[in-house]
Chains A and B, each alone.
Chain A
Amino acid sequence: MALGQRRRSSRTFVPPKLMLTSMMDMFTIILIFLLFSFSETPEKIVLGKNLELPRSTADVQYQQALKIILTKNELLVDDKVMAQVRNQQIVGLTPETFQSSPLYRRLKEIRSNVKAEENKDEETPHVLFLCDKSHSFKTINSVIKTSGLAGYPNFQFGVLEEKK
């Protein structure tokens, strides 16, 4: 009888108390770290698999600006595809035909809109240029030359920070 009672009492379920304090500490630290890294980034840039930026010792923070992105296979202006890249050449963008290229027309359009909106003598705006590290200067030159002729001669080359 006594044995039966002991067995019954040991089976009664006691809900375990979770020690949440240490977990709360951990979560608070993670949250503070994430909030800090979230606030220091001016704008989120998504690097696709076709865009591998070179590494650099530069420590200048990039600014909000018009983005020209040259991936392995596409040329984009503010996430809008302007041309395709085939065999390290931008389709439809040659030194002779740059004025009829979609890139030139788009940049001219944006530049004229900015001028009309601001209508004041500010310093020349710059372009944030994100380019895949494998591209040759010939390919890059066609883009930056067209950009310069459309009224954007100043650039910020986007690079990945290299730990010193």
Chain B
Amino acid sequence: MARFSRIRRTEEEEPELNMIPVMNLFMVLIPFLLSSVSFLHIKAINTSIPVHADRPSQTVVADTTPKITVVFEIKSDQVRISTLSDTPNDLQRSDEELVFPKQNGMDISVSAVADHLRKLKLSHPDSDTMILIPDNEVTYREIVQAMDCVRTHQSDVLFPNVVLSGSIG
């Protein structure tokens, strides 16, 4: 009887997995990965600067809605938005020019600027280029803020091709 009970006891004993080597591996891997992981996510804004074109410019195809290029000038105290048209007869469009004073002389009023840009985009849906002309004193932070404002606003794509240029004259 005693022999039977001993056999049953040995059958019921579960085999124990040796977890120590796995734990050791984890203890090595986790500090290594923690040291190499980056918690700051770096993203990118695509932009370019004006360059001298070697190829001849393409002929403008007559279209019902002419393409425009939005000029976004950032001054020390205000933002000036104007447009240039690709159509030779319609180069400067003074009716679409607006000036926005900066809030507290510091930041761009994003919503007001975006509303105006959205109107421009609605009237010229094929247009996607913006020339950004900051003053010399404008900081990089403000330039990036302006780029964010002109590219998209509340999931609306506005003018994603941003060309950065220095002011002339």
Contact = CB atoms under 8 A, between A and B. Distances in A.
Contacts of B145: 54, 56
A97 B79 CA distance: 32
Contacts of B26: 24, 27-28, 31
B49 interface: yes
Interface string B121-135: 000000000000011
A62 B166 CA distance: 25
A153 B48 contact: yes
Nearest to B36: A38
Interface of A: 20, 23-24, 27-28, 30-31, 34-35, 37-38, 41, 44-45, 47, 53-63, 126, 128, 131-138, 140-141, 144-145, 148, 153-161
Contact of A141 (B41, B51, B166): B166
B49 A54 contact: no
B45 A157 contact: yes
Interface of B: 19, 22-23, 26, 29-30, 33-34, 36-38, 40-51, 134-141, 143-145, 147-148, 151-152, 164, 166
B23 A148 contact: no
A12 B74 CA distance: 81
Contacts, number: 139
A56 B45 contact: yes
Secondary structure at chain B's binding surface: helix, strand, loop or mixed?
mixed
B53 to A, nearest CB: 11
A137 B30 contact: no
Contact of A58 (B19, B23, B44): B44
Contacts of A34: 30, 33-34, 37
Given A41-B38, A153-B51, A54 B140 contact: yes
A16 to B, nearest CB: 14
Contact of A57 (B36, B41, B148): B148
A49 B106 CA distance: 25
A23 B49 contact: no
A34 B84 CA distance: 49
Given A37-B37, A135-B140, A145-B166, A20 B23 contact: yes
Contacts of A61: 43-44
25 contacts: A23-B23, A27-B30, A28-B26, A30-B30, A31-B30, A41-B38, A54-B140, A54-B144, A54-B145, A56-B147, A57-B148, A58-B45, A62-B42, A128-B44, A134-B141, A135-B139, A136-B139, A140-B140, A141-B166, A144-B49, A155-B48, A156-B46, A157-B45, A157-B47, A158-B44
A24 B22 contact: yes
The 4 A-B residue pairs with the shortest CB-CB distance in the complex, in nearest-first order: A34-B33, A62-B44, A138-B136, A156-B44
B19 A20 contact: yes
